Amino acid sequence: MILANQTAIVTGGGKGIGKAIALALAREGANVVVSGRNKEALESAANELQALGITSLAIEADVSNESQVAELIDVTQKKFGRIDILVNNAGVTGPTAPATQISRAEWDEVLAINLTGAFICAKAVIPYMIQRGSGKIINIASIAGKLAYALRSPYAASKWGMIGLSRTLAQELGPYNIQVNAICPGPTDGERMRGVIAGRARELGKTEQEVERLYLEGTALKRMVDPGHVAAAVVFFASEEGSSITGEALDVTAGYAL
């Protein structure tokens, strides 16, 4: 197991892509702390993780709240004595509407969680990684961080920002042997994508089946991304084999090109 005895934190780790990432890291031997705002989902995920033979904690934390993040990091460090991997996956989809119809409160919420939350978590964990002389920070961005994404301006802005944050931190932290990368999933199978499709269908006056077909037609492989494939990319970046890669934003999109 390539991550044996290492400790990983996965924000938004209770379900969806985050849970797939947590399970993939655990299968490679890492002890995994899952955090988020849904206590029931976190505890269920932690039970699945522990069934794989590793130690897992479920810690409620809102990544936009600095004191809650500080507690998350402190509890993890005290429990395991090390933090090797931080996966900034926590995020919200935000509204689906023209920019003129999006409120300042909606904009602020998306940026606070999707982008500022990643910054707060990274800032809190970096001193421990510097002290150890190694670390991996992996930010789950989106293909929406590389393309125009009409009707999703706060989400797209947050993901463009996350890529910029990743590349900047990679330059700052390289001298300390800390690698920082982003992964940019395309349309990914799961509950969240179904919600995105439903919201877009309402806004465009189309059926959900029509909107789903538009997403699928935008991919080279004509299918949704498997969350496990995103998780596999995280495992690679977290591994020793990924240690010469930093400041990159890897697409895992089934060839999404729209």
Positions marked catalytic: 155
Asked whether the beta carbons of 38 and 14 are under 8 A apart, the reply is yes
Expressed in percent and rounded to 5, the helix, strand and coil fractions of the chain are: 55, 15, 30
Give the long-range contacts of residues 71-76, CB within 8 A, separation 24 or more: 72/9, 72/33, 72/35, 72/121, 72/124, 73/9, 73/121, 73/124, 73/125, 73/128, 75/33, 76/7, 76/9, 76/33
Q: In Å, how far are 35, 107, 193 from 227, measured between CA atoms? A: 18, 27, 11
